[in-house]
Structures are given as structure tokens and as C-alpha cells.
Amino acid sequence: MSSIHPTLKATFASRSETATHPLNAYLFKLMDLKASNLCLSADVATARELLYFADKIGPVIVVLKTHYDMVSGWDFHPQTGTGAKLASLARKHGFLIFEDRKFGDIGNTVELQYTSGAARIIEWAHITNVNMVPGKASVASLSHAASRWLQRRDYEVKTSISIGTPAISNADDDSERSDAERTDGSEEAPLPDNNGRKGSIVSTTTVTQQYEAVDSPRLIKTIAEGDDSMFPGIEEAPIERGLLILAQMSSEGNFMNKEYTQACVEAAREHKDFVMGFISQETLNTQPDDAFIHMTPGCQLPPQGEDENAAVKGDGKGQQYNTPQKIIGVAGADIAIVGRGIIKASDPEEEADRYRSAAWKAYTERVR
């Protein structure tokens, strides 16, 4: 970093007041309230494990990162399924859900992947992300999809069916009616009239559809046990959706060069109403009005009892690790993403709080 950007010295509380994206404003406020800038990467194999860790670790995190497509037993029911249960736990413990989908296709495809299919990611995940290799169009398309979803989500289609009163029709008059003038679904049966001429009974069926406002599904109880409590001290999360752009990676030998990263920054600036920030290895805020949030994976602490700032080794599979002090204090990220360091610990709750404490300490020292 060539110079100190104002966001590096600003507190999360002050950034919540100036944030341009509603979810960033909420997230900064939540971070200040919980004294946490920790994200749990819940890379687990089953839906049962996912919900377990969301419930147990939820109190100390501000973001839960998921990979729904690697979870067996995922229930896709929109009201009672896994996504809905995660949403209820997010309200209860005070965190946002980040589906780490890494969309990476042409615009039309990513729109459908985001809003359609069995998962319907947009319905339950506050945040998702994009791999911008296909170009800026993928960001624009996801932004468009989120905007359309937001416009439609408070409405449902109401269908009403009315059946007209049967009336006797003169056969001669009726014969003059063209097929185009008859109502779809009408049925006719011959019936003699008082003059001995054949008539018919005409019944009409009219189907109308209109959009009507509905109550927010966020207030519907979705946990089977009926737990609809909400984390105290903060209002409900905004319904607006947010995007993180995958600008840099922690894996060894990745191909995300400076030109790619700069293109990510440019796309973010063009879509500030939807792009919250970046998955990156350092802060990418350089212009005076940049207010993006930065989340960094590859965070690990040395074993309990050792120097928290000691060097940590990779996992032997390309992942390179850094300590919270390096990620938050030196590189200028806002949120540390931790996965196996917590999930695989003998006491995940205790270890999660150790990571929370270390990441928060790095932040408080940075803003002094």
C-alpha cells in the first residue's frame, strides 16, 4: 500500500454511518456490537453439521460462509429447508450468510444460477461472490438479477376464478357468434326454449391474476422448533443482497495478476449499489470515496500457547496461511475467514473465540 487510506484508521462504528451499501452499514454495525470481525468458513460434508456449527459458532462470528453444493442432505424447501434454517440462525445469533458460489460464467447463466434452480441462492444468502474471469458483464448481470428479485419479492400472484351465471341463449342468435367471441372454457348444452326452438346454457369461466403485497418471509418462523428469536441490540438485516468480487486468492500459484485485480476494482466502482467489496489479500481501497469491505481467507493461528504472530505453514495443498495480525493489522483486511482451524479443533467454540479475539485485537491496534 503506497499510502494510508482513511478506511484503515476508521472504526467499524464510524464506517457503518458512511457506508453506501446497506449490508455494509449493517455489517459494520454488527461487528462493532459483537466485537468480532470473524467469518467461519463452514466447509462441512452434511447439512446436519452445517446447522450445528452455525448454531454453536454463530454467537462469535459476523459472517457464515457456505458451499451448499458440497453439503449432502441439503433440504431445498424454501420455507423449512436448510437455507431457511440458516436464515433463522443468522437472525438469532447475529451474522450474515455468505454463499461462496464463485460464479464464473456468461451473464445469462450466472443470473439463472443465482435466482433459479433448486437452491435459489438469492432467497437465503445475504452475500455471494463472483470470479470475474468472464469479464465485467458477469457483475452487471448479477446486479440486474438482484434488482429484479428485490422488486418482485414483496409480491405474490393471486389467482381468482369466477364462474358466470348460466343463461339461456337463443340458438339462432348463438349461431351468429364467432368462435373468437366465446369465452375459453365455456360449455354449451342444448335446451329447448318456450317457443320449441333449441337453445343452450352458456357458462363462462374467468381467470384473473394480479400481484398482491405479502408479509416479509423473514418474519415467518422457519426453524422446525419454532425459534424465531432475533439477536438483541440491532435491527433485522436489510433485504438487499450484496456481492463480493474475488480479486485475489490465498492459493499458491494462482493466476490473478495485477491487471485482473484492477479490473475487479473498476467493476466494483461501477456497481456500488450491489458490490460490497472483495475477497482479497489486502485492502483495495485507494480512491478517496472507496468504502469497500475486504474479507481474507487463509487465516490461521499457531497452536495454543505459542506466539500468535509466529509464522504458520500452508496445508500442503496450495493453501497459504497468514495470522490475523498479518491479515488485519498489516494488509488492511476487515474480516478474517477461518475454516479448518476452527472446524477441526478439539473444542471449536473455544477456538473460534480465540480467533475472534486475535482478529479483533489486530483491528483495534490498527485504528489507534
C-alpha to C-alpha distance for 276 and 142, rounded to whole angstroms: 13
User: Do residues 295 and 249 share a domain?
Assistant: yes
pLDDT tens profile 198-247: 555 455 555 554 444 443 333 333 344 445 688 999 999 999 999 999 99
- Is 105 noted as a catalytic residue in this protein? yes
What are the residues whose beta carbons fall under 8 Å from the beta carbon of 330, sequence distance 6 or more? Answer: none
Residue 336 has pLDDT above 80, yes or no: yes
Q: Is 182 part of any known ligand binding site?
A: no
User: Do residues 331 and 295 share a domain?
Assistant: yes
Share of residues in the chain with pLDDT > 70 (%):
76
CA angle 207, 210, 212 (to 5 degrees): 140
Which pLDDT belongs to residue 317?
A: 67
User: Do residues 108 and 198 share a domain?
Assistant: no
User: Do residues 184 and 224 share a domain?
Assistant: no
What are the residues whose beta carbons fall under 8 Å from the beta carbon of 362, sequence distance 6 or more? Answer: 324, 325, 327, 328, 329
- Averaged pLDDT, 288-297: 97
Cβ atoms of residues 254 and 221 within 8 Å: no
Q: Is 9 part of any known ligand binding site?
A: no
Give a yes or no: residue 192 inside a domain.
yes
Which pLDDT belongs to residue 314?
A: 62
Query: Quick one: residue 316, left, alpha or beta (phi over 0 = left, psi -120 to 50 = alpha)?
Result: left
Identify the active-site residue in 34, 85, 92, 100: 100
User: Do residues 135 and 245 share a domain?
Assistant: yes
The count of domains in the chain is: 2
Cβ atoms of residues 19 and 290 within 8 Å: no
Range of lowest pLDDT (1-15, 158-172, 222-236)? 158-172
pLDDT tens profile 255-273: 899 999 999 999 999 999 9
| pLDDT-based confidence at residue 179 (cuts at 50, 70, 90) | very low
- Which residue is it, cell 445475504? 126
C-alpha to C-alpha distance for 350 and 354, rounded to whole angstroms: 6
Strand 167-170: give its sheet, edge to edge. 167-170, 198-203, 187-192
| C-alpha distances out from residue 185 to 144, 168, 203, 296, Å | 39, 17, 9, 60
> From the centroid of its chain, how far is CA 46?
20
φ and ψ at residue 192, rounded to 5 degrees: -75, 145
Q: Is 319 part of any known ligand binding site?
A: yes
Collapsed DSSP state (helix, strand, coil) of residue 59: helix
| pLDDT-based confidence at residue 181 (cuts at 50, 70, 90) | very low
Collapsed DSSP state (helix, strand, coil) of residue 354: helix
| pLDDT-based confidence at residue 80 (cuts at 50, 70, 90) | very high
Burial of 266 (0-12, 13-18, 19+ CB in 10 A): exposed
Which pLDDT belongs to residue 161?
A: 54
- Is 193 noted as a catalytic residue in this protein? no
Instruction: Give this prediction's pTM.
Output: 0.80
Q: Is 250 part of any known ligand binding site?
A: yes
Q: Is 136 part of any known ligand binding site?
A: no
User: Do residues 59 and 167 share a domain?
Assistant: no
- Is 273 noted as a catalytic residue in this protein? no
| pLDDT-based confidence at residue 186 (cuts at 50, 70, 90) | very low
User: Do residues 135 and 93 share a domain?
Assistant: yes
Instruction: Give the residue numbers spanning the domain of 194.
Output: 159-211
User: Do residues 203 and 304 share a domain?
Assistant: no
Identify the active-site residue in 105, 174, 227, 353: 105
User: Do residues 174 and 265 share a domain?
Assistant: no
pLDDT tens profile 26-79: 999 999 999 999 999 999 999 999 999 999 999 999 999 999 999 999 999 999
Provide the pairing of β-strand 38-41 with 63-66: parallel
User: Do residues 80 and 168 share a domain?
Assistant: no
Give a yes or no: residue 140 inside a domain.
yes
Torsion angle of C-alpha atoms 125, 337, 43, 267, degrees rounded to 10: 50
User: Do residues 83 and 169 share a domain?
Assistant: no
pLDDT tens profile 87-101: 999 999 999 999 999
Within 58-153, residue ranges assigned H as helices are 82-93, 107-115, 121-124, 137-152
Provide the pairing of β-strand 275-279 with 187-192: unpaired
**Mean pLDDT, the chain, whole residue set:** 85
C-alpha to C-alpha distance for 217 and 154, rounded to whole angstroms: 9
User: Do residues 268 and 137 share a domain?
Assistant: yes
C-alpha to C-alpha distance for 136 and 148, rounded to whole angstroms: 19
Q: Is 138 part of any known ligand binding site?
A: no
Identify the active-site residue in 55, 56, 102, 272: 102
Top-confidence residue, 1 or 276: 276
